[in-house]
Homo-oligomer: A and B are copies of this chain.
């Protein structure tokens, strides 16, 4: 058994993962963004101890997927784009001191890519690209069956592909990044802007939201009911995502692209227009090779990949 931890900007998860990818004693909670790194580390220590007390013997190691850049070789968290206090943090060392387990940390999108490769839609693939769309957008690259990390351990930042130069400002400091246009948060923001600009077209969306802020989930729900504005927003989202994926296909020619993260749960409502737009921007010779599939574990791929990494790295 491996203790697996998934630290995101909105939620965190802990669980025990067996060698076959079964998840046991899953715990989830909301991330307190104002609490920063200190809050999260204290919370994880407490929850992990409770979990380990109830666990069968034989938890051998801990694997962590973190929502932000990680220096894998140095085993340090570099920063978080969503939560303060995560600069240059030796989280594996801290957890080892508290829990007595060897620990390994990896960026969550990389962990998700590995989770889908070992236990999900990518089983048997040699070259795979994983794109995760939730609050933000991340990605992981599998080459020849292994995670590709690039020169400094930070390859695969697909969220910051420049799809609309001069477009909306991204949290990274640039403009028109894929994440600033097609993440869950950005889909919601674009919906708010569209409704504010032309309120007469936004009535169905606003009714569905019932006073709450517009979310990607609401946009896909309204699109499923045939609302024209929501359908436009979905199509525009898939155009940006398709442009980003075409950059990946034209560069890496992977066997498979796997879409994970909360927004991927929209299923074919997202995948069908996304396949069309991706093909339109892809070099004709590569079009027939494109396979874009939904993750098999949109919610648990990070836990599964973090566990797989801990198994090969520290056990």
Contact = CB atoms under 8 A, between A and B. Distances in A.
A154 B285 contact: yes
Contact of A155 (B69, B152, B253): B253
Contacts of A63: none
Interface stretch (A160-168, A217-225, A298-306): A160-168
A279 to B, nearest CB: 10
Given A161-B247, A289-B151, A283 B253 contact: no
A246 interface: yes
A225 to B, nearest CB: 29
Contact of A243 (B126, B155, B162, B250): B162
Contact of A157 (B143, B148, B172, B250): B250
Closest 8 A/B residue pairs (Cβ):
A150-B253, A155-B253, A160-B283, A151-B255, A162-B281, A247-B247, A173-B284, A157-B250
Given A151-B255, A157-B250, A174-B282, 16 more contacts: A69-B285, A127-B150, A127-B151, A141-B251, A143-B143, A148-B252, A150-B253, A152-B286, A157-B253, A162-B246, A162-B247, A162-B281, A173-B284, A247-B251, A251-B251, A251-B252
